């Protein structure tokens, strides 16, 4: 399924790092906080976000985690800092031109989704003007990303 997403993107001239962030709970001095941490990625070699881990209240991935709905954002039209990141954190994601995130749901022992979001699948485009290309072919991207998110649910649950 990942190869279908990558092939579709490359066919349309978009260089598509693809990754999965899972929710983990980390203790701070007083609180247990949720973080999204990168556990798998393809096309991310030498990228600054290859070891990404951030609070689940931040970023597009955080919004998708909280809202349980896919989200597509043109990062060339968006201020990276508006997503709750510090200036230093925002620099990590400055190379991204578009982000398309899908929720990953937990599945039960019978393979049915439980409704609990356990992570986020991201198509992080780095090509200039990638958002326009993705928007033009959004139905195809929706289909492929949904398939891969459902596949990922079964693997990471």
What pLDDT, on a 0 to 100 scale, did the predictor assign at position 41? 94
What pLDDT, on a 0 to 100 scale, did the predictor assign at position 91? 86
Burial class of residue 65 (count of CB atoms within 10 Å of its CB; 0-12, 13-18, 19+): buried
- Considering the entire predicted model, what is its pTM? 0.91
Q: What is the pLDDT along the chain (157 residues), one digit of tens a residue?
A: 899 999 999 999 998 899 999 999 988 777 899 999 999 999 888 777 888 899 999 999 999 999 999 999 999 998 767 889 888 888 888 889 999 999 999 999 999 999 999 999 999 999 999 999 999 999 999 999 999 999 999 999 9
Long-range residue pairs from 136-139, CB within 8 A, at least 24 positions apart, any chain: 136/12, 137/8, 137/12, 138/72
Q: What angle do CA 59, 62, 65 make, to 5 degrees?
A: 155
> What DSSP assignment string belongs to 43-85?
S-TT-TTTT-EEETTSHHHHHHHHH-S-EEEETTSS-GGGGS-
For residue 34, give both structure tokens: 């949720």
With beta carbons less than 8 A apart as the criterion, state whether 157 and 98 touch: no
What pLDDT, on a 0 to 100 scale, did the predictor assign at position 88? 86
């Amino acid at each position: 399924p990942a190869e279908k997403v990558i092939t579709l993107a490359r066919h349309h001239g978009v260089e598509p790092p693809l990754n999965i962030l899972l929710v983990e709970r980390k203790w701070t001095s007083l609180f247990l906080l949720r973080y999204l941490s990168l556990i798998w990625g393809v096309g991310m070699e030498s990228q600054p976000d290859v070891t990404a881990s951030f609070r689940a209240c931040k970023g597009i991935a955080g919004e998708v985690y909280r809202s349980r709905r896919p989200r597509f954002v043109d990062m060339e039209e968006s201020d990276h800092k508006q997503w709750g990141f510090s200036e230093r954190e925002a620099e990590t994601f400055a190379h991204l031109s578009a982000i398309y995130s899908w929720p990953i749901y937990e599945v039960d022992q019978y393979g049915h989704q439980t409704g609990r979001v356990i992570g986020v699948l991201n198509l992080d485009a780095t090509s200039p003007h990638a958002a326009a290309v993705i928007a033009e072919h959004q139905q195809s991207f929706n289909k492929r990303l949904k398939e891969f998110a459902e596949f990922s649910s079964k693997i990471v649950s």
